[in-house]
Amino acid sequence: MPILMNKSDKRHQKERLYQLFTQVTQALANPRRLELVDLLGQAPRTVEELAQETQMSIANTSQHLQRLKRAHLVRAEREGVHIRYYLSDPVVARLWLELRMVAEHQLAEVEDALTDYRPRRHAFSTLSFAELQMQLQAGEVLLLDVRPTVEYQAGHLPHAISMPLAELNHRLVELPIDKLIVAYCRGPYCVYADEALDVLAAQGWRVARLEEGVLEWQLLADRQA
């Protein structure tokens, strides 16, 4: 015979469930930790690499990572004297994208802040994933991944060529002049692609930007599966 809980017990158990959910929301309720999640969505990194990328001290970076780890949003693996961090599950990256989309829809300030961060965001034409795929199949474009090499190696869009922004000026001779050059980086909240397109456009290439990055492409693929 099933054991029936009284209303007080049910309320307690329900509150415990919601309290567990707040472990995730509280871990993410910090801009520095959100940036770490964003970076780890691009590629696993050591504490030292993350500290350099975010311009935080190693101690502060480690503290933020430990908070994310306690909420089981990241995991760590020791490599000699270093510890490399990973997102614990692809669902964490999807949560970050969904959180971002909610903010975009509900907070008008996001648009203004993005324009301040990316003043050149409207300077170039953009392609959707579908348009890019069609033009790639027709051989009309060259797709450049201008993120750091470690991120390209961790995952990249099909047919993309790795050409990190830091190497671009030295590798211009590799680019065909008769094709549209499309660049992408970490998604819409990344300036690398804008900076790369500025360089290419000044040298006479026809250019366009893919606003989305690898995380957005993976989310789209999951939804279509």
Domain chopping of the chain, boundaries:
7-95, 120-224
User: Would you state the pLDDT for residue 194?
Assistant: 98
* CATH among 3.40.250.10, 3.40.50.300, 3.40.50.720, 3.30.365.10 for 120-224: 3.40.250.10
d(CA 192, CA 34): 19
- Report whether 197 contacts 53 (CB < 8 A): no
How far apart CA 21 and CA 27 sit, in angstroms, is 10
- Other C-beta atoms closer than 10 Å to the C-beta of 146 total 27
- How confident is residue 222, by pLDDT bands cut at 50, 70 and 90? confident
Mean pLDDT, residues 176-186:
96
Phi, psi of 6 (to 5 degrees): -75, 170
Round to the nearest angstrom and report the end-to-end CA distance of the chain. Answer: 43
Show which residues are catalytic.
185
Tens of pLDDT, residues 69-128 = 999 999 999 988 999 999 999 999 999 999 999 999 999 999 999 999 999 999 999 999
Query: Per CATH, the architecture of 7-95 is what?
Result: Orthogonal Bundle (1.10)
Confidence of residue 175 (pLDDT cuts 50, 70, 90): very high
User: Please, what is the Cα angle at 129 between 124 and 132, to 5 degrees?
Assistant: 65
Cα 86 to Cα 70, 74, 79, 222: the distances in Å are 13, 6, 13, 20
